[in-house]
A and B are shown apart, each in its own frame.
Chain A
Amino acid sequence: MKQWTKALNIGFFIVVLGLFFSFRQMWSVSTDLMALLPQNKSKTLFETYSSFKNAKEVFVATQGFDKDSLSHIKKIEERLTKENLLKLESDIKLNAPLKKYIQENIFYLRELNEKPSQNVAGIVQKLFEQITTNPYYTAIDTQDPLGYFKPLNPNKELNIKNAHLALGDFGYLSVFSLSDTSNTKESFQKVYDIVKQEVGESPNIKAFSPIFYFVENAQKTQKDVTLIIFFSTALLLFLYLLVIKNIALLFNTILTLATSGLIAFMATCSVFGSVSIFTLAFGNAVGTLAIDYMFHHYFHDHYSKSKPFSRTVFFGFLTTFGAFFIISFVDFPLIKQLSFFAMISLFLSYMQFAILFPMIGFKQAKTISTFRFSVPLPYKTIATISFLTILGAIYFLHVETDLRRLDYQNKPLMELEGFFKKATLKQDYTPILIEANSVDELILRSKTIQKEFQKTLTPLAFFVDKQTFAKRQETLQALDFEMLEKEVEKEASRIGFRENFFKNAYSQELLYPQHTELDASKIQEMGFDVVTKNNLFYTHAMVKTEDVKEVEKRGFAYGINSKEMFLESLKHVTYQLLFGGALVLVLMTTILLITCRKTLALSSSYVLFPTALILLVGINDFTIIHIFMLFIVIAFGIDYGIYMGAKEHSRVQTKNAILFSLMSTFAGFGVLIFSQIGALFAMGLVSCLGVGAIFVLLLGGDKE
């Protein structure tokens, strides 16, 4: 029996490991933060915007406007487009379908001059003088000799130097779109590699694309997390060897944590499709929460002597598990995934530490004697002040909703992005998405925004919608162009122009063409962005950031801002979070009242003091990760509060167990403070503050 139970843990681990490798194609780790946001209108709009080629363009700029710079950028253009991964978008030449559209609709695309002169003879005379006396060669617009229409300039929004797109005063700019619209990590990686290979590390060339964030951040995140997991595991191993001093127990503890982690990983993958890299890092750290159960059983001789079931550890586990269970109902994928992973991992670890380990049995090694001294601490005062601090801090708390703060802070790339935005004068602009029931309505709505808001960049407003077309046709019909054309011809002959030179002026073909019906594919052929989703049509525009709210009031335009999107996602779950938080508090208070009624101030201070400290430190910059980690600190705080309140155990041994739990918590969670990824750093910071606060409380004496 004993041999069998001893092998049980190993056997269990081997089976789980076997399952993990047998179905390894099913497991995947995701670094995409977007995937962790709830699916709502805001996220759908963001995804729609991301599907535009405009949102994934690659910008390359060479410094200077000299011949070498131009030659260089042209060579880069040639090389980058050679493999058909990228398509040059910054070519100022018009494509054939767009050229045809312009030719057919020229009198509808050009703005009408409000008050053109009615003096035909005078105008024709002036034209004659211009071509004969102007020092520079002047050609006559034979389609509109009287100047009824303003010149058309489809490139007016572009900064062009030497027939090439320019990036402010920096140099030449080339803009590429991705030929592969699959939006996969692989396609982004290919583009990233080829751009980096062609552009190299020259300080005279700058290259940026929003897709670089996907590639570089994923690489950096993976590297960072791997390093931290390795460091954390090494630290934990060292710590356990130092503390446990029992190789068999250490071996079994590692197997238990690995088994729980693997099962939690596989279960999360099966339920959620993939496991976020954040959940993985968090999962590794959850193991340190679970080790707490082992330490308490071990230090209180549950593995070396036959002792009854530890009610204290069970309540500790129940509180933590309960807290994760309650918040797992919050309708937010990131929270759901983390809670799900934690519940499985904690449950399996607890079952093994509390049931299997006493069956296996481990000798109690002589522990390092620690708390030989204590400082009298006023726990009641600490609890009261902490409680009041929490109330005050909650009032002044600023919740940071910028999603990018949670990602890897890729400063070099952020600087590059800032550089390109500044040079293109777009740093004060926000992209918006325009929605409509048809392409025609989309054009009309683009025109409305362009008309109502100054300095907007609305590409689709270039086209003519049915309504504008009909209005222009009506205006043109009111002007007697047939008569004007005859008058022009008459005056031209009189002044000395060649016979029939103006025969094409104001032709019926240009004055009254058929309205060109545009669909999404035709617009795309002409190089503009339109996508269809759920029978709705979308295009993009850029508006001044201060105008976004006003533009959104139209009801068909939405600002694209990841910060706002995250805020909206949070708003949707605010009540669930508050309700969940309240339930967790009720659960904790109930358990505290059941288990530590007599030591309420001491036990509650293990929750209140760390919470107050965390809220105070993070008051200006509290992210969702801070909130989530706060729940965890509260969870292990309450565990320790319960353990400290338990009278059946030796207080010194309890303190020892908590101290070693804290050390392992630091090794698991605390090391995340060295991460460059916003979310992991927040986890590390909060846990370090929690560990520090609890350590201070541990120094206190027995008397309250």
Chain B
Amino acid sequence: MRPKIVLLLLFFALTLFAQNPFKETRYIYAIDKTLLLEGYITFGEQNVIIEYTKPQPKVLTYFEGGLSIQDENGYTATQLNANSAMNYFFMIIKAIEENNDALLESFFTSKTDAQTTILEPKDTASQMVQEVKITKNGNKLKSLHVELKNGDRITIETVD
């Protein structure tokens, strides 16, 4: 259950940079190392495609009930059950796209101070997430920072 929520938050982060190139810094407490990733995200009507260009080219496609990964080893697809992270993923994406506050409020309470919005997790999310920070430059997203309770940290920044 836990990895799914973190996965969800990552996607949540990525969706903030819809149709934009992004840079991701992933600190992994378990190995005390930081990974750097780069890529693009595209939103379809029914799916979301995340194309990583670095460190290795990989394409992730999410659609309702399923996930596919395409890399140099070929194509793999998994059917996810209805209440899996996949649904949460779509939920978050829609929330961002549609300014769906009702949906976001299912997981977070938010505090906005000037250009920064802090999302405080509640209920199930609070078991995993310490804090989410969104920084904007005007109406444009600048960065997103997720701190997890297991010590991992993920920072995503838009690339101009």
Contact = CB atoms under 8 A, between A and B. Distances in A.
A498 B30 CA distance: 5
Interface in A114-159: 128, 131-133, 135-142, 151-153, 155-156, 158-159
Contacts of B1: 151-153
A161 B87 contact: yes
Interface residues of B, number: 49
Interface in B96-123: 98-103, 105-107, 123
A308 interface: no
B3 A139 contact: yes
A70 interface: yes
A523 interface: no
Interface stretch (B15-23, B50-58, B130-138): B50-58
A92 interface: yes
A153 B88 CA distance: 15
A156 B102 contact: no
Given A70-B100, A498-B31, A162 B10 contact: no
Contact of B31 (A128, A141, A153, A155): A128
B52 A135 contact: yes
B87 A93 contact: no
Interface string B65-92: 0000101000000000111000110110
The residue in B6, B9, B82 that gathers the most chain A C-beta atoms within 10 A of its C-beta is: B82
Nearest to A75: B102
B60 A136 contact: yes
B3 A162 contact: no
A132 B34 CA distance: 9
Nearest to A67: B100
B96 to A, nearest CB: 11
B154 A162 contact: no
B43 interface: no
Contacts of A135: 37, 50, 52, 56, 58, 60, 69, 71
Nearest to A499: B32
A141 B124 CA distance: 16
A163 interface: yes
8 contacts: A67-B94, A67-B95, A70-B102, A135-B60, A137-B152, A140-B30, A163-B88, A496-B31
A161 B83 CA distance: 7
B114 to A, nearest CB: 27
Contacts of A498: 29-32
A161 B152 CA distance: 28
Contacts of B52: 135
A639 to B, nearest CB: 67
A185 to B, nearest CB: 35
B28 interface: yes
Q: 7 nearest interchain CB pairs?
A: A160-B83, A162-B91, A67-B100, A139-B3, A71-B102, A137-B10, A135-B58
Nearest to A163: B106
Given A135-B58, A141-B2, A162-B91, 12 more contacts: A71-B101, A135-B50, A135-B69, A135-B71, A137-B3, A158-B83, A159-B82, A159-B83, A160-B83, A497-B31, A498-B30, A498-B32
A251 interface: no
B30 A501 contact: yes
A490 interface: no
A128 B9 CA distance: 21
Nearest to A138: B3
A155 B4 CA distance: 14
The residue in A70, A136, A152, A159 that gathers the most chain B C-beta atoms within 10 A of its C-beta is: A136
B28 A141 contact: no
Given A92-B83, A132-B31, A138 B124 contact: no
Given A135-B52, A136-B10, A138-B3, A163 B91 contact: yes
Nearest to A71: B102
Interface of A: 66-67, 70-71, 74, 92-94, 128, 131-133, 135-142, 151-153, 155-156, 158-164, 496-498, 501
Given A137-B10, A137-B26, A156-B83, A94 B124 contact: yes
Contacts of A93: 123-124
Contact of A160 (B28, B33, B87, B107): B87
Is the contact region of chain B dominated by helix, strand, or loop, or is it mixed? mixed
Contact of B150 (A132, A139, A159): A139
A66 B30 CA distance: 39
A162 B150 CA distance: 25
Given A67-B100, A71-B102, A138-B7, A162 B90 contact: yes
A131 B95 CA distance: 28
A160 B81 CA distance: 10
Nearest to B97: A67
A131 B152 CA distance: 11
A162 B2 contact: no
Contacts of A66: 98
A502 B1 CA distance: 18
Contacts of B87: 160-163
Given A153-B83, A160-B82, A163-B91, A132 B7 contact: no
The residue in A74, A139, A497 that gathers the most chain B C-beta atoms within 10 A of its C-beta is: A139
A347 to B, nearest CB: 66
Contacts of B33: 132
The residue in A133, A153, A163, A501 that gathers the most chain B C-beta atoms within 10 A of its C-beta is: A163
A131 B100 contact: no
A152 to B, nearest CB: 7
A153 B94 contact: no
Contacts of B90: 162
A74 B29 contact: no
Contacts of A131: 28, 30-31
A133 B150 CA distance: 19
Nearest to A501: B30
Contact of B7 (A137, A156, A163, A164): A137
A117 to B, nearest CB: 19
Contacts of B91: 161-163
A496 B123 CA distance: 33
A497 B30 contact: yes
Nearest to B59: A135
Contacts of A133: 56
A162 B103 contact: yes
A128 B50 CA distance: 23
A133 B50 CA distance: 15
Contacts of A151: 1
A67 B3 contact: no
The residue in A66, A93, A137, A497 that gathers the most chain B C-beta atoms within 10 A of its C-beta is: A137
Nearest to A99: B127
A154 to B, nearest CB: 9
A163 B3 contact: no
A132 B60 CA distance: 16
A91 B34 CA distance: 37
A503 to B, nearest CB: 12
The residue in B82, B83, B124 that gathers the most chain A C-beta atoms within 10 A of its C-beta is: B83
A163 B95 CA distance: 11
The residue in A131, A141, A164 that gathers the most chain B C-beta atoms within 10 A of its C-beta is: A131
A141 B4 CA distance: 11
Contacts of B26: 137
A498 B32 CA distance: 7
Contacts of B10: 136-137
A164 B107 CA distance: 11
Given A94-B124, A128-B31, A156 B106 contact: no
B60 to A, nearest CB: 6
